[in-house]
Amino acid sequence: MLFSRNKYTTFEQRQNMKLAIIGCTGLVGNVILDVLNEFSLPITEIILIASKKSIGKKIVFRNEELTIISIEESIIRKPDIAIFSAGSSISEKWALKFADNGTTVIDNSSFFRMDKTIPLIVPEINANEIKKSHKIIANPNCSTIQMVVALNNIHKKFGLKRLVISTYQSVSGTGVAAVKQMNDERAGVNGEKIYPHQIDQNCFPQGGDFLENGYTSEEIKLIKETQKIFNDYKIKITATVVRIPVIGGHCESVNIETHKSFQMNEIIESLKNSSGVKIQDNPAKFDYPMPITAHHKNDVFVGRIRRDETVKNGINLWIVADNLRKGAATNAVQIADYIIKNNLL
């Protein structure tokens, strides 16, 4: 299987380029394959890894039948890049073993994100932090990624002082089991419950585990990851995470206070010039971002752009993205793309 070599000046020096996907049968793993089908990475071999119950099963990719193998066997095959999408426990146990074997690991779990020695990367913002010596690279949380992509240019020009975030997150962010619970409820099936409450026709203010301070782990991720990605620990951030009964994407209402004053046209221009951002903001025609229209897209959509008239330098933004795409799979593939193009393996 040979991908396009266009724009890769260093690839000709290699005889082959192997990419492994750990957790290929999960929601994110499936989308990684979709995204790879759209990108032109110079990969000569894709290695698929899943749990023991899936070993030996076949997945068709670009008209080629690929066999799922064990994680132990995949290490022996020495992939150049491994994208982990199988949860923190798998990353904790196996990522360093891949890295010690010469593989560059892109980890979708939360396990390495706050490690000061490991870069937390959103390519549009801080890909230049990746060095050849980095054998593990952390992929941020899905809700963090879409927000920082939208806010990056605003932060660079006006400085973020404070963020008040309310998210409306797809249950797909929890994984296959949460989607199955919702679909079972819609079908009237009494199936396994991943959440303690009904998902369908409901919403509840919980994402992740509740901590001693009353926040959830998803809310703390938004706070700490944003500060790390922007390398600015003075930004004051508070967040409330809500799960909603949709599959196609995460929504965020973000109230922003900046250090410097601005004109609204400057905010619009900052968003227009932000890589990966599309403005969808025409309330008169009821045109604004929604999960149903962001589904299966790689962009971050921003609308409901308006000044917060209760503070000196305030803005309100509505930010929507497909959490399985830019929030996970697309961002990971973009990191791999950057690594290969810049000869960082």
Catalytic residues: 142, 250
Start-end of H helices in 129-206: 142-158, 176-187
**CB neighbours of 227 closer than 8 A, spacing ≥ 6?**
233, 235, 237
DSSP letters spanning 308-343: ETTSTTEEEEEEEE-TTIIIIIHHHHHHHHHHHHTT
- Contact by Cβ (8 Å): 226, 235: yes
In single-letter form, the type of residue at position 345 comes to L
- Tokens standing for 81? 């890049």
In single-letter form, the type of residue at position 255 comes to N
Nearest to 339 by CA among 96, 82, 97: 82
Q: Determine the 3-state secondary structure of 305 from DSSP.
A: strand
- Contact by Cβ (8 Å): 327, 153: no
313 CB burial (10 A radius; 0-12, 13-18, 19+): middle
68 CB burial (10 A radius; 0-12, 13-18, 19+): buried
Nearest to 223 by CA among 138, 167, 163: 163
C-alpha separations of 108 from 56, 98, 154, 158, 335 in Å = 24, 15, 26, 30, 11
C-alpha separations of 326 from 91, 298, 323 in Å = 20, 5, 6
